[in-house]
Amino acid sequence: MPRIPASLEALDEVAGYVHALAERAGLPATRAHRLRLAADELATNIVVHGYRDTKGELGVEGGVEEESVWLRFEDDAQPFDPRDGLQTPEQDVPVAQRRIGGLGVYLALTALDGFTYERVAGRNISTLRIRRDGAT
């Protein structure tokens, strides 16, 4: 599994990896964008909230299957399942009065067709999945 430094500066490498994976899979533009959005959000959260001010690495791996594309992140930051506390945005509340945080993760996870999280041997393992077909 390729590893990159867990830093905001290295997130361009994640974006490049996701772009190449989407191209290899022949993902329609809307699906490639959704995968990139989710990958950007989750990788940023790992760097900013998982590692905080400590050094670390982020493993990135992906694959193309007949019906879907998957992308896996592995890190040894603090345990964090992005689905914990996930709530639907408060659309009936004015923006200035909404709670802060969580919207990016909500948008990222709802853009996907599948997401799993595991904590194995002190590592966070998050796997994103999106269908290859043209449905949006």
CATH number of residue 97's parent domain: 3.30.565.10
**CA–CA separation, 27 vs 68, rounded Å?**
9
The stretches in the chain having pLDDT less than 70 are: 85-104, 134-136
Q: Give 13-41 pLDDT, tens digit per residue.
A: 999 999 999 999 999 999 999 999 999 99
Closest by CA position to 59, among listed 104, 10, 113: 10
What is the total count of domains within the chain?
A: 1
In a domain, 110, yes or no: yes
Work out the mean pLDDT of the chain and round it to a whole number.
87
Cross-strand partners of 116 = 127
Say if CB 115 and CB 66 are below 8 A apart: no
pLDDT of residue 133: 85
In a domain, 21, yes or no: yes
Cross-strand partners of 71 = 62, 128
Range of 97's domain? Answer: 3-131
pLDDT of residue 7: 94
In a domain, 69, yes or no: yes
pLDDT of residue 92: 63
In a domain, 35, yes or no: yes
In a domain, 136, yes or no: no
pLDDT of residue 87: 62
Prediction pTM value: 0.86
